[in-house]
Amino acid sequence: MSNLVSAPGHSPDFDPRNVQTVRVREFEHDEAKSSEDEIDLRELWRALQRRKKLVAITTGTLILIAATYTTFQRIYRPVYEGNFSLLITDPISDDSRQSSLPNFEGGMFEQLARNTTSNDIPTLIEVLKSQVLLQPIADQFEIKASDLIDRINITTGGVKRKEAEGVLDVRLIGRNPVEDEQLLNALSTTYLQAALQQRQRRLSDGLTFLNKQEPALQNKLDQLQGELADFRTRYSLLEPTAEGGALKEREAEMAAQVLGLEAERNRLIKVRAEIANGTLTARGFQEAIGNTSGGQINAGLTVSDVDQSLLQQLLKVETELAEARARYNPNSSMVQGLEERLNQLRPLLRQNQLEAVDTALSLNTGRLTTARMQKATLNQQFLQQPGLIKQYESLQQRLEIAKQNLAGLVSAREKFQLEIAQRTVPWRVIAEPTINPSPIKPSVPRNLALGTVLGLVAGAAAGLLRDRMDHVFHNAGEVKEDLRLPLLGHIPHVDFFKGVREDKRFLLQELDKSVTGDDDPEAAKNHRYQRFFYQEAFRNLFTSIRFLNSDQPLRSVALTSSLPAEGKSLINVLLAKTLSEMGQRVLLVDADLRKPQMHVRLGLNNLTGLSNVLTEEDQTWHDAVQKVPGYDNWFVLTAGRRPPDPTRLLSSNRMHALVSELEASGQYDLVLFDTPPVLGLADAALVAEHCDGLILLISLDRVDRSLPKESISRIRSSGAPLLGMITNALRPEKQSAAYGYGYGNYGYAAYDTSAAYAYYAHDEEEESSSSSKGDSASAMKARKRRSLQPTPNGNGYVDTKPNLRERWRFQRQRLMKWLDD
């Protein structure tokens, strides 16, 4: 159990048996040292949660504005849309596709005349939206042509086929459905008439073009026909291709004849060699020239009648000799006579045969030479034919093209004349002009969705901006939720302590005087109320400190803050005063050697203090400790003379020995140390190393939220024991925002204490009033002053009648306070 035992009759009702030890959770290393270049999404979410009212109001306002604007536009300024569709090409018989076919008669000239070589849809749309075409309609409806152009939208494609470029969808937006429908009808009529006029103009221009081209084509045709006639006259040809075939046939016949003559010559040469060698008999010669026809021999031999008779005689003698040899002996006169006769005929016959063969060879040579010359001549003539054929076919092709061009021109001209006479409209309305009865603008779903998105974005931006501009803690609950440390107590705002630090007022004397010696009953009532208010807060803080550690009693506690002027010294003074009034023996040590405050707040001298005890060997703490006048249990050790190096003194062994000696002396139930801020200075951490623990004071509506986190991180890194936090309200609070803390299972449960404080303070006031003399003249006078003068409100303010500017500022502050709550 703690040695901090409250005086009889002053301790609040509290049952320690239902209390469990508070466990202080350590910060995780990653949370304590978060990266500066990363965005903490959890912090952003917590910021949005803190400003949820501003986020919700901003979002709801924008959604309401969007809904109001949409409703107003929907009722008073609706925008309607109408449309109609035009078929600008014939999907069944497209002239541009037909004219591209190679067998289409007059296709080229018709394509040129119609100017349908390309379908430029973007240019067509620009023409349909041009001021020249729409100016008559604008004049008819008494509107500006530029406004009409802005209201028209022309796109390609139908409802189901977006790639249907042959369909134009014309849309018109406006605010008058009746007038817009008439305008759509006028537009469709104008577009159809413009298409008809353009078609008639194009046909007329095409016909003029065709008429201009006809004389040139006719002259070209006449010129080509004359060139063909000159060609035939020059080369005596009618059809070079047919005549070339005839020459090739004659050349083939002559080649066959040359081959026959060469074979005949070879045979004659062989026959002559046999005759000259004597190997050819008369019968063999007869067989060689055997097939004769009127003296013409196949071998080319020509035999006279004398030579023929001689040959017959030789054959006859050979026959008789054969028969004689069969009958007679070889030595017989018959056989010898026939042999002699045969020997006489053979030389003559051989001579005649050789002359005949030589004559045949001479004739064959002449005929072979003539045949070869004829063949070469025919070949030369045939080789000239391809060039002539090429020239002839070129003339024929050019002539044929000229004929086709002229025929196509005549055909196109006749077709143009027929179409000009028909005057048919080339375009057709396939969807009649209609106006959608439902407005297209404003779009309720789109505007509401856009308003919601913009509202959420603007609300989040407003919340984050407000949180950045007002990045402070507004109540103790936010401190506990954000820092996750034990919250030992909350010190409410007391108007009496306003300006104590700035004015360097003698706090204790004024405080006692305000409670006991004030002549104004109304002011005394207000001071008693405030006194009760902060006394109960410090009693709750005392209760929390008592049971922070049940294993070992807390004898020395240091109090620090993140920044100066957070009320640290004032909290120490009021806590020591409250504990002394509860019967606790308290020693308040001013460890702020740089800028001490305790001697000023308590009206004590600072000639000898902590610095003197630490630096002077003959100086003991017993001599330096001063007793606060009027308080038997309250002692103070001021800072003393300002040393050149406070850090060295606070970290010395002498300081540690001093704290240990104060704790072990048994003269004090609790030693409180008032230290400098923890950020920027090492004094608080050094003092806390010698104490049982350190308490961090966090001022509401003053310090940035990141500073207490940094302070906690530095305290953790120094190894000083951190017991918990105390919140201090530097500004007036609403009753619903005041917090008191009682023990729960593992932490502190917040509850509203302001109502209880007010209730018991009111009882105390009535008790004080009942102890006074009846309805005295002074009491009646005080009530009269209360009825005539402004009275203080529940937050310590005095209600006065402000001017308009002050009222506006007050209302704005109330609104911002409500939004931040």
User: Given this model, what pLDDT does residue 536 score?
Assistant: 85
Asked whether residue 282 falls in the same domain as residue 333, the answer is: yes
Asked whether residue 489 falls in the same domain as residue 634, the answer is: yes
Whether 676 is covered by a domain: the verdict is yes
pLDDT tens profile 537-555: 888 888 888 877 666 778 8
The type of residue at 380 is Q
Whether 4 is covered by a domain: the verdict is no
Whether 739 is covered by a domain: the verdict is yes
- % helix, strand, coil for the chain, step of 5: 60, 10, 30
Asked whether residue 259 falls in the same domain as residue 166, the answer is: no
CB 433 within 8 A of CB 184: yes
Asked whether residue 693 falls in the same domain as residue 571, the answer is: yes
Nearest to 430 by CA among 81, 83, 82, 84: 84
Measured CA to CA, the distance from residue 699 to residue 122 in angstroms comes to: 70
SS3 string, 697-715, reads EEEECCCECHHHHHHHHHH
pLDDT, block means (10 residues), the chain with 821 residues: 36 37 39 52 80 87 91 90 87 52 49 56 88 91 91 81 79 91 92 83 78 84 83 74 78 86 86 77 57 44 56 79 82 82 78 81 86 83 74 81 84 76 75 90 89 91 81 82 88 70 58 56 67 80 79 85 88 90 93 89 89 90 91 93 90 92 91 92 90 91 87 89 88 48 34 42 44 40 41 44 75 72 65
The verdict on whether omega for the bond into residue 347 sits within 30 degrees of 0, i.e. cis, is: no
Provide the b/e sequence for 323-359 (b: ≥16 CB within 10 Å): ebeeeeeeeeeebeebeebbeebbeebbebbeebbee
H or E element, residue 627: strand 626-627
Whether 794 is covered by a domain: the verdict is no
Measured CA to CA, the distance from residue 473 to residue 729 in angstroms comes to: 10
Asked whether residue 557 falls in the same domain as residue 430, the answer is: no
Measured CA to CA, the distance from residue 200 to residue 223 in angstroms comes to: 35
Total structural domains within the chain: 3
Nearest to 147 by CA among 123, 114, 180: 180
Asked whether residue 165 falls in the same domain as residue 298, the answer is: no
Whether 804 is covered by a domain: the verdict is no
Q: Is the dihedral of CA 478, 483, 486, 492 positive or negative?
A: negative
Measured CA to CA, the distance from residue 13 to residue 742 in angstroms comes to: 12
Whether 189 is covered by a domain: the verdict is yes
Measured CA to CA, the distance from residue 546 to residue 1 in angstroms comes to: 8
Classify 278 as helix, strand or coil. coil
Asked whether residue 553 falls in the same domain as residue 692, the answer is: yes
Whether 58 is covered by a domain: the verdict is no
Asked whether residue 308 falls in the same domain as residue 369, the answer is: yes
| Strand locations in 118-257 (E) | 152-156, 167-174
CB 492 within 8 A of CB 729: yes
DSSP for 91-125 reads: SSS-HHHHHTSTTSTTHHHHHHHHT-S---HHHHH
Q: At what angle do helices 444-469 and 52-76 cross, to 10 degrees?
A: 150
Q: What is the CATH number of the domain that holds 764?
A: 3.40.50.300
Range of the domain at 178: 79-203+425-435
* Structure-token match 């919250």, residue found: 487
Measured CA to CA, the distance from residue 771 to residue 769 in angstroms comes to: 5
Asked whether residue 262 falls in the same domain as residue 153, the answer is: no
Measured CA to CA, the distance from residue 22 to residue 594 in angstroms comes to: 34
CB 550 within 8 A of CB 21: yes
Asked whether residue 126 falls in the same domain as residue 258, the answer is: no
Q: Which two tokens stand for residue 768?
A: 């004080």
Helices (H) and strands (E) in the chain, counts: 29, 16
Residue 83 phi, psi (nearest 5): -155, 165
Residues 6+ apart with CB under 8 A from 20: 743, 745, 746
Angle at CA of residue 543, ends 541 and 545, nearest 5°: 70
Q: What is the CATH number of the domain that holds 144?
A: 3.30.1890.10
Measured CA to CA, the distance from residue 78 to residue 440 in angstroms comes to: 8
Question: DSSP character for 695?
Answer: E
pTM above 0.75, yes or no: no
C-alpha 298 chain-centroid distance: 104
* Structure-token match 């152009």, residue found: 149
Nearest to 694 by CA among 664, 716, 679: 716
Asked whether residue 148 falls in the same domain as residue 245, the answer is: no
Whether 498 is covered by a domain: the verdict is yes
Asked whether residue 364 falls in the same domain as residue 429, the answer is: no
